[in-house]
Amino acid sequence: MNIETRELKHVSVVVVSGRVDSATAPDLQKALQDLFDSEHKQLVLDLKDVDYMSSAGLRVLVSMQKAAKKNGGTLRLAQLSARVTEVLELAGLAPVFDIYPDVVEAVGAF
């Protein structure tokens, strides 16, 4: 898994690629938590290049969604890969998230 962060306007865009599974999910959680801890409250996760997401990855998304709301922030998902879309829908979690077709729309919605 690879994680890259860039700033677009006042929003942190986190680009995730590769596999998000039990081995890599803690790294994703730490990266997102570090952003929240450093006062980056508006996050967009770009998931277009995630080719696999396990239940561990879903747990990170759900826990970071809760952390964002608790701390007055927002977590949005953008450009979901087919695999991520399938996993979210199978788990019944798609309605829990604000999902956008691309990063520009997700950032523009803030």
CA distance linking residue 110 with residue 91, whole number of Å: 27
Q: What is the pLDDT of residue 39?
A: 85
Question: Are the CB atoms for 23 and 54 separated by under 8 Å?
Answer: no
- Rounded to the nearest integer, the mean pLDDT of the chain is 95
Name the pTM for this structure: 0.94
Q: Which two tokens stand for residue 81?
A: 């890969």
- pLDDT at site 71: 83
Give the percent of the chain with pLDDT over 90: 86
Find the helix or strand (DSSP H, E) in which 31 lies: helix 25-37
Letter for the amino acid at 88? L
Q: Which domains does the chain have, with CATH numbers?
A: 2-108 (3.30.750.24)
Amino acid (one-letter) located at 44: V
52-98 confidence digits (pLDDT tens): 999 999 999 999 999 999 888 999 999 999 999 999 999 999 999 99
